[in-house]
Amino acid sequence: MPSSATPANSTPQGRYQVTHYGKSRNFALYEGENLLAVTLYKKGAETLQHELEARDTVIAEQAARIEHLTAATPPGPAATRFRDRAWPEVNGQLGFFSREQKEHFTAKRRGSSRGRS
C-alpha cells in the first residue's frame, strides 16, 4: 500500500530489473528491455537501480508540486515585453524625453541637420 507522501505517478515497481548479463559473471540493469548498465557486482547494479528510482521519485514529486502551484496561481495580466514595462512610451515617445529632444538626438547620431537648432 503506497504511503500518502508518495505521489501517484512515481516510479512503478518493477520498472528497473537487475539480472545476469548473458553467460558472464556480470550483472545488468534494464529498464524494460533497454540495457542501462553492466556492472561486475550485483550490489553495484542494485545501487544504480535505487538511485534511478530515487531520482524518478524526486522528478514525480516536483511535477506534482508544479501542477499544484500552477493550479493555485490565478491568471494574471497579459504578458508584456520587459521593455514595455520598464520604459512605457507616451504617445510614441519616451516619457523622460520630449519629442524635440528625441529628434535632436537621433538627427545628431545620423549626421543630418534636421532637428538641430
Name residue 36's amino acid: L
Residues 6+ positions from 28 with CB-CB distance below 8 Å: 18, 19, 20, 21, 35, 36, 37, 38, 39, 45
pTM comes to 0.51
Q: For residue 63, what is its C-alpha cell?
A: 511535477
* DSSP 8-state secondary structure symbol assigned to residue 100: H
Per-residue pLDDT tens digits for 4-56: 444 444 555 678 999 999 999 999 999 999 999 999 999 999 999 999 999 99
Is the pLDDT assigned to residue 94 strictly greater than 50? yes
Which one has a higher pLDDT value, 55 or 103? 55
User: According to the model, what pLDDT value does residue 104 have?
Assistant: 78
Interatomic CA distance for residues 7 and 65, integer angstroms: 10
Is the pLDDT assigned to residue 76 strictly greater than 80? no
